[in-house]
Structures are given as C-alpha cells and as structure tokens.
Structure 1
Amino acid sequence: MKMNLKALSNSVNQEIKDLKLALASMSDRMPDPIDAGCVVEQLQSLQNQLRFKEQYASRLLVAMKKQNNGEFGYCDDCGTDIPTERLQLLPDAPCCVDCQSIREYKSRAA
C-alpha cells in the first residue's frame, strides 16, 4: 500500500508552525486582569495542541522511514499486514488492532 505520508507530514509540520506563531503572539500580549484566566486557558490549549501535533509528526517520520524500507503496513509486534482501512484512518499505526489491544491492556495493568 502506497500512502502519501510526505504530504501528510508537510501538512502537520505547517500546523505546528502555525501553532508556534499563535503561541508566540499570545505570549507577547499582556491581558488585562479580567481576561487573564481566559488567556491562560487559551495558552494551555495551544500548548496541548502543539504537543499532540509534534508527537504525531514524530510518529509520521517513523512511518515514512518504514515506507522507504518496505516495512510500512506491517505490524511491529506480530508482523502481519495492518488492514488498509486502519492505515487510512491512522497512517502512523505501528501495529494491528489485536496487538494494539494487547499493548493497551498491558499499559493499563502496569
């Protein structure tokens, strides 16, 4: 399966740049005391979005490396094909649904 991970990665990286610009512009302004709580909440929201997008971009880089090596679309844990539908929804998915369920179970048990 061939996916255009590079275009997706470029899009995510642009979103990261936009979020950083938004954060910088908000950090520079001094809110009046009445609006300070709203500004802090907006800053935290932007920081959370940025952290999520940066993690996603990192996972996409891993997926692109796998694609270049011919390893994309195979489960990291059991080696079976990851269903096309799953990859269309989660192009950064490292494993099949069954192995992901096992990972999540183990992380909850730990």
Structure 2
Amino acid sequence: MRLNSDELERWQKARQGTERKELGAWVRAVVEESLNGHPGLPGDVPRVPQVNETAYAQLVQAAENLRNLMRHAQEHGSLPADADAVLAQLGNAALHVRGLPVAPERAAGPAQ
C-alpha cells in the first residue's frame, strides 16, 4: 500500500495513540475492527493486562526451566526428554499473562 506524506503522517500519529509499534500491525487492527464491528477508536486494540502475581510466578518458573534446558543442551549437546513440556509451559505462561486460554497439558514424550 502506498501513502502520500500527509496520509503517512496522519496514520503514524493515529498509530502512536494506540501504542502499536508497527504501522502494519496498526492498519491490520483498524481493518479487523472495522470488519468485525468492534467498538472503540479505530486502531485502539486491547492491551496486555497488568501482570498479576500468579502469572508472574508462572513466567519466572518457566524462564528458569528454559535456562536449565539451555544449560543442559550446552553441556550435553542435546535437550532432555522434558524439553517440549518446558517450552509448552513457557508458552502457556505467556498466554496466561495476556488473558488468553492456555493450551491443554500433554503427556511428556521424548524430545526431538
């Protein structure tokens, strides 16, 4: 999409008001809101909720587990069998912080 300098300036100012860092992400949000009839100012997308203690604790534990996985991989040249579960835990913690539903727990299997 091409914009003239006036359009680009207006769009950038509107984007800055929504805390979106990229113009493309802002444009996508505006179009989606327009198509889906969401209320609010164009481009004013939901923000990440403030981190609560439970979500923070989950992220801290997930980050520690990921550090341990990386240390094991560096020392032994491979990941332990629970690597997939640890990565899933990290992803779920990130989803929880955003207020999104987490993925169902899976049985731990061998790392690939």
TM-score, length basis structure 1: 0.32
User: Which of the pair has the greater relative contact order for Cα pairs under 8 Å at 6+ separation?
Assistant: 1
TM-score, length basis structure 2: 0.31
Higher helix residue share: 1
**Which has the greater radius of gyration?**
2
